[in-house]
Amino acid sequence: MGICSPPTLAPDNWRDRMALRCWRWWHWSAWPRTRPPPSGSTQSFRQQFSTQEQTPQICVVGSGPAGFYTAQHLLKHHSRARVDIYEKQLVPFGLVRFGVAPDHPEVKNVINTFTQTARSDRCAFHGNVVVGRDVTVPELQEAYHAVVLSYGAEDHRALEIPGEELPGVFSARAFVGWYNGLPENQELAPDLSCDTAVILGQGNVALDVARILLTPPEHLEKTDITEAALGALRQSRVKTVWIVGRRGPLQVAFTIKVLGPEGEGPGARADGPAPALGRCGRAELPGVEEGEPGRAPGGVGEATRAVPTGDVEDLPCGLVLSSIGYKSRPIDPSVPFDLKLGVIPNTEGRVVDMPGLYCSGWVKRGPTGVITTTMTDSFLTGQMLLQDLKAGLLPSGPRPGYAAIKALLSSRGLGSL
């Protein structure tokens, strides 16, 4: 049943505030809140799946681009497949909702595509369920014919340098979550009373953060940035943002589009080398030891390496944001995970040595590429799953799907949205 008006909740905690805020984003009636299990059938199930004879129950963990593109492919190419999407947040869309800069609303247009997938009567969303804590992956495997892990990269890469733990030093991922309304980052409270900020890293996220710090608040009022972040930015005294990278401007990782007006005006300039943090929350650019990155020696192309010079530069600042990449975390002890690469070991999306378990998106290949890269990647995982389905490599009998998981959650005093 669709909901026609927002609930009248007093925002006593972050979950209530998040529930209230979601009404600004998306009309919940697009989601089937519940989906009745398929009606019983006297049809006998053969040992091998057939797209005409069976109703495969498939579970997708994660409702970001990888999860939705995987679901889209499965629903499009199997006329009877039913897909349940589990999400730890109260609302869907992952980094499209919580990671895209509010001043780039066109990037969020992909939500319209995901909404069409969500409208299918063979697709259901179950939010506020933490897989690995509320329900285990083996329990999902018992309830579904196949499980796809598409939960993305929920952590950030650490600098692993002295001073990283000092006040005023944050990950860019947490800062982005703060101004986009990610519940776990709402208590971040960055101090914007300084006049200079330093961002370590030179990818798209680094440029997004720089733009938000320097964009006049009256321009941000037209976006969906959170009221709390907008209020803090109105009081901000940050006038200068340094973007620090190991290599030179010819090897930057960001796309030209994210530069925005700050990169087109006379106030932008490019400098060099690699950082470590000083005792007073400042960014120092040290002379590094042999083998460590330093100032780029020149040249062009990705093969250019940073080399040590012995030079040291002291850059006073009051805010440091580390933006050197995201990383995935293990979701469940039963699922293999490569801690060094930050991915689930897989072959074209098939999790190694775990039949019926698949992965897509960043947890499959690492946190690289853009949304279209994730689309192609997720379609491939969906294709592999359907190939295994057709070849009879997945369980042949009926599976209860969400009915079994709902009972498990209920027995543990939990529920889903």
Q: Tabulate helix, strand, coil % of the chain (nearest 5).
A: 30, 15, 55
Does 256 count as an annotated binding residue?
Answer: no
Burial (CB count <10 Å: 0-12, 13-18, 19+), residue 266? exposed
Confirm if 284 and 275 have CB atoms less than 8 A apart: yes
Does 203 count as an annotated binding residue?
Answer: yes
Does 277 count as an annotated binding residue?
Answer: no
Does 204 count as an annotated binding residue?
Answer: yes
Does 265 count as an annotated binding residue?
Answer: no
**Is residue 186 helix, strand or coil?**
coil
Does 205 count as an annotated binding residue?
Answer: yes
Does 370 count as an annotated binding residue?
Answer: yes
DSSP 144: S
Burial (CB count <10 Å: 0-12, 13-18, 19+), residue 4? exposed
Does 321 count as an annotated binding residue?
Answer: no
Angle between helices 65-77 and 110-118 (to 10 degrees): 50
Does 124 count as an annotated binding residue?
Answer: no
Quote the tokens at residue 390: 């057709």
Does 290 count as an annotated binding residue?
Answer: no
The runs of H, that is alpha helices, within 181-223 are 204-214, 217-220
Confirm if 340 and 381 have CB atoms less than 8 A apart: no
DSSP 320: E
Does 371 count as an annotated binding residue?
Answer: yes
Does 178 count as an annotated binding residue?
Answer: no
| CA neighbor of 405 nearest in space, from 64, 35, 114, 75 | 35
Angle between helices 204-214 and 172-180 (to 10 degrees): 50
Residues annotated catalytic, as ranges: 104, 208, 371-372
CA–CA dist 417, 410 (Å, integer): 13
**Is residue 17 helix, strand or coil?**
helix
Burial (CB count <10 Å: 0-12, 13-18, 19+), residue 46? exposed
Query: Which residue carries 């620090």 as its tokens?
Result: 244
Residue 10 corresponds to which amino acid? A
Does 247 count as an annotated binding residue?
Answer: yes
Does 97 count as an annotated binding residue?
Answer: no
- Binding site for FAD: what residues are annotated? 66, 87, 95, 131, 362, 369-371
- Binding site: what residues are annotated? 66, 87, 95, 131, 202-205, 246-247, 362, 369-371
- Binding site for NADP(+): what residues are annotated? 202-205, 246-247, 369
